[in-house]
């Protein structure tokens, strides 16, 4: 199965971890910061490694989301790689509402607010 990098705001950790757990349960290799970062690790190096190895970047956003320099770097890096044809696909996911960044408005998103199970199934289908 594919390597998946989960990008989210810290205020959405519970929902992001729930999603990561479900994706892992379906056989995907999931990179979630709280699972991968340990005391003494270089945050930038670990994130870069996770992004470099990802086939998918799941960009989680919600009503809690606001500008986040870390999250912006993650999805902008993935978008650049996608546009450059470097083997990553950006998959926006609405966790609890809110809007995706305007530059991503033309990319169909998964809406978990309309139904969690259905949304996860749609996300899994996009990763085949």
* Residues annotated catalytic, as ranges: 74
Distance of alpha carbon 11 from the chain centroid: 14
Token digits for 46? 């670990």
Tokens 């650049």 sit on residue: 80
Dist. CA 1–CA 15, nearest whole Å: 22
Token digits for 124? 């899994």
Dist. CA 19–CA 105, nearest whole Å: 22
């Amino acid at each position: 199965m594919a390597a998946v990098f989960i990008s989210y705001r810290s205020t959405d950790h519970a929902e992001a971890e729930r999603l990561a757990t479900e994706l892992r349960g379906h056989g995907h290799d999931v990179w979630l910061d709280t699972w991968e970062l340990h005391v003494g690790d270089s945050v930038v190096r670990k994130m870069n490694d996770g992004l470099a190895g990802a086939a998918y970047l799941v960009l989680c956003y919600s009503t809690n989301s606001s500008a986040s320099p870390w999250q912006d770097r993650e999805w902008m890096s993935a978008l650049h790689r996608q546009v450059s044809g470097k083997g990553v696909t950006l998959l926006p996911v609405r966790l609890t509402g809110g809007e995706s960044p305007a530059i991503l408005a033309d990319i169909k998103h998964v809406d978990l607010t309309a139904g969690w199970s259905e949304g996860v199934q749609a996300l899994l289908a996009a990763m085949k």
